[in-house]
Amino acid sequence: MEKIDQSFLWKLLNASIWQIIGLLVALVVLVGLIIRIRALFREDEDSTADDHQLLSQITDLHREGDLTEDEYRSIKGRLVQKLDEQFKIEE
């Protein structure tokens, strides 16, 4: 009888471990899918609005004297170039 109880307990414990491992694997796969789906939706967001906002912020910083003329021109040039490239891709 004692041997039967130990065998039953071992089978139950062994089955539980595999179920837990299976659930953990399923959870990892689910989290991975959620991350990939969110990344796809974020790629569709319009980043040009962020660039326009950044451009207006650096303009304000330049007006307030926090950016030199050279810094302002450099940053503005990079942003305008990026916006032009995005505009060409959309056409």
Q: Indicate if the pLDDT at residue 29 is higher than 90.
A: yes
Cα Dmax for the chain? 89
- pTM, to two decimals: 0.43
* 36-69 per-residue burial string, b: 16 or more CB within 10 A, e: under 16: eeeeeeeeeeeeeeebeeebeebeeebeeeebee
Considering only residues 63 and 48, tell me which one the structure prediction assigns the higher pLDDT.
63
Mean per-residue pLDDT of the chain: 79
Question: How many residues appear in the chain?
Answer: 91
Average pLDDT over residues 5-25: 76
For the chain, domain boundaries: 1-45, 46-91
Please determine, for residue 28, whether its predicted confidence score (pLDDT) is greater than 90. yes
CA atoms within 13 A on the CB side of 87: 9
What is the Cα–Cα distance from 77 to 80, expressed in whole angstroms?
Answer: 5
